[in-house]
Amino acid sequence: MDDLFAPPDNEWRAVSAALATMRRVLLLGVGCLVLVVIVVGCLLLSAPAWLVVPLVLFGVALVTCGWIVIGRNARWWGYAERDEDLYIKHGALFRKLVVVPYGRMQYVDVHAGPLEQLFKIASVHLHTASPGTSAVIPGLRADEAARLRDRLTSLGETQAAGL
């Protein structure tokens, strides 16, 4: 880890491992579906084996790449709560770091889709008056997401600076 994305004071807090698991399950699901479609299609069209085997291998390679990328990405998510602002970093290839002062927050969203609920995780989204602020923390454990939301809203109220 280099200086550029060093944590502001102590450590980055990582997101739940369930995020990578969920994404990998999703990837495998989609991969299997595509594989079935390819195999069935080839059988129906009675395509020669020299076409089917590379296609399947290619699909497997893609899924493997996705598996690795998901793991890397999930490891790169991190956040640090400070007294007056929140640091969030993410992205393994395109690395990003965003600093949101609590006083600038307009509102905080907690979102959990059906699949996320299954894995008991949620994402927290911070909104400021600028649409450019892309401050999202996905894959927080549900109780951690609720705690973070409550802390953010109460800090936002006491430090509110508006526009």
Partner 1 sequence: MTEHPDPPGRSYKRLSPLTPLVRSAILVVAVVASSWNDVLRGDLGPLGWVLLAMLVAGAAYGTASWFRTKYWIEADELRVDTGVISRQSRRIRVDRLQGIDIVQPFVARLLGLAELRMDVAGGGSREGSLAFLPLREAHDLRATLLARRDAVRAGHPAGTEDPRTEAEQRTAPPAPEQVVARLDLGMLVVSLLLSPETGAFLVSAAFFIVVFATFGGVGGAAGVVSLVVGLGLTQFRKLSAYYDFTVAQTAAGLQVRRGLFDRSTQTITLARVQGVVISEPLLWRGFGWARLDVAVAGYASGSADGSKPSASTVLPVGPRPLVMWLARHLLQASGGPDPDAVALAAPPVRARWVAPWVRRFLAAGIGEDLVVSRAGLLSRRTHVVPHARVQSLRLHQGPWQRRLGLADVLVDSPPGPVHVRARHRDVREARALLDEAGVRSRAARSL
Please choose, from the candidates 24, 29, 14, 21, the residue with its C-alpha nearest in 3D space to the C-alpha of residue 119.
Answer: 21
Count how many Cα atoms sit within 13 Å of the Cα of residue 120 in the half-sphere of its side chain.
Answer: 5
Complex with partner 1: residue 50 or 94, whichever CB lies closer: 94
Q: Minimum Å distance from CB 90 to partner 1?
A: 11
Per CB under 8 A, contacts with partner 1 among 45-84 are: 84
Q: Which stretch binds partner 1 (CB under 8 A): 18-26, 43-51, 65-73, 91-99?
A: 91-99
Is residue 93 a contact point for partner 1 (CB under 8 A)? yes
Q: Any residues with CB less than 8 A from the CB of 16 and at least 6 apart, and which?
A: 121, 139, 140, 141, 144
Question: Which 3-state string (H, E, C) describes 2-40?
Answer: CCCCCCCCCCCEECCCHHHHHHHHHHHHHHHHHHHHHHH
Stretch that binds partner 1, among 9-17, 22-30, 54-62, 122-130 (CB under 8 A): 122-130
- Contact call for residue 11 and partner 1 (CB under 8 A): no
Of 56, 128, 136, 144, the one binding partner 1 (CB under 8 A) is 128
Q: Is 95 in the site for partner 1 (CB under 8 A)?
A: yes
**CA dihedral over 106, 98, 85, 113, signed as positive or negative:** positive
Of 115, 124, 120, 91, which is closest to residue 27 (Cα–Cα)?
A: 115
When binding is defined by CB under 8 A, the residue of 49, 94, 114, 158 that contacts partner 1 is 94
Query: Counting contacts by CB under 8 A, is residue 136 touching partner 1?
Result: no
Where do contacts with partner 1 occur on this chain (CB under 8 A)?
2-6, 8, 84-85, 93-101, 103-104, 128-135, 159, 161, 163
